[in-house]
Chains A and B, each alone.
Chain A
Amino acid sequence: MIYIKLFFSFLMIGALSFGGGYGMVSLVQETVLSNGWLSESEFMNFIAVSESTPGPLAINMATFIGSTQGGILGSLFATTGVVLPSFIIILLISAVLKNLLKYSAVNAFLSGVRPCVVGMILATASVMALSSLLGFVDLNTAAEPDIESVIIFAALWCIHIIFKKVKKKTPSPILMIILSAALGIIFGTV
């Protein structure tokens, strides 16, 4: 049953997405790819949509996948699944386990999870860069660099560095999405 599958897949994502934002990106990616819910490129398209609309990535992703796989009911099941673990854990902490974070074992566990999440995010970005920019998927296929994508990537990093030097902050994601869309259209039409 698709509803139950959606519910439990997203329940798992909700229960294990530490670190907020992109902390869950690799877990969601493998869930949607292995179930055939989205292709790699559809997944990346949707991350961009999620960045340009309000709300947490996890909820946006659950609603979108739920809706494309099982209509309105599907999206309700998936979204409930992704929110439920947070809701229950926080309720437990605020009502019963007030000192959960003061237990040293819990903190010790989290001290291992924190660097792991950062590593997972960086690895996900690297793998995406290898396949989308350099056309390198695995050892069995030859790499075919995509020059246009490499140029867009380089341009985005230059803007990032200039923003950091001049404005002392990173450029807003929406600005970068608009810029990259413009570059994509220019390369597509020329």
Chain B
Amino acid sequence: MMKKILSLFWTFFKIGAFTFGGGYAMIALLENEFVEKKKWITKNEFLDMVAIAESTPGPVAVNSATYIGYKTAGFKGAAVSTLAVCIPSFAVIFCISLFFEQFLKLTYVSYAFRGIQVCVIYLILSAGLKMLKNIKKTAFNIVILLSVIAAMVSCSVFSVSISSVCYILICGVLGTAAFFLKKLKKGCD
């Protein structure tokens, strides 16, 4: 058991330290490590995990660490894996935070960051477009998507602030309502 926990710690530490650019890059890495090499979880369990990690809130890396940790070694496994996956980010970012402000004061760095800020817009936009491509183009999805964009952009233009929490909850409730309406309609036919 102890050996398994140590191995969980080390594997998730590596995953936390070497996955750049978000959770999806690490799914393949996790599968290779836990399904093919160690055989601690089955292919089906892994697919379940991906579905769960993607539909529950929070980073995919943390969700899968907790899930795989629990499946392999219970609560202790879950706690150790989650901690291990967070430590590298925490350490790196904490160090950066100590000198970031001074760093930005250097002339060339400040020039560079003017360009980088433009890149951030590009990165967010291209991430959004990629997700847009993968979403099913049903009438419901398109209406929700366009209304959210229209609402958020106009709120910003008119300097009104509505929390993102509201959008998420309202759309969730609309999704639930649409589902039950459909069911009701089927019942009537």
Contact = CB atoms under 8 A, between A and B. Distances in A.
A119 B164 CA distance: 11
A107 B182 CA distance: 14
A181 B120 contact: no
A4 to B, nearest CB: 19
B62 A30 contact: no
B77 to A, nearest CB: 10
A125 B124 contact: yes
B58 A14 contact: yes
Contacts of B132: 118, 122
Contacts of A5: none
A3 interface: no
Interface residues of B, number: 100
A125 B125 CA distance: 5
A53 B124 CA distance: 16
A162 interface: no
A100 B57 CA distance: 14
B122 A160 contact: yes
B120 A47 contact: yes
Q: B interface, by DSSP: helix, strand, loop or mixed?
A: helix
B147 to A, nearest CB: 8
B1 interface: no
A79 B126 CA distance: 27
A51 B146 CA distance: 27
A108 B175 contact: yes
27 contacts: A17-B59, A20-B23, A51-B123, A54-B88, A55-B16, A56-B23, A58-B58, A68-B97, A75-B94, A83-B62, A85-B57, A86-B58, A87-B79, A112-B173, A112-B178, A114-B135, A116-B145, A119-B152, A121-B124, A133-B118, A139-B157, A139-B159, A156-B118, A172-B21, A184-B116, A185-B111, A185-B112
Interface of A: 12, 14-22, 25-27, 30, 34, 41, 44-45, 47-60, 63-64, 67-68, 72, 75, 79, 82-83, 85-87, 89-91, 93-95, 100-101, 104-105, 107-130, 132-133, 136, 138-140, 148-149, 152-153, 156-157, 160, 170, 172-174, 176-177, 179-185, 187-189
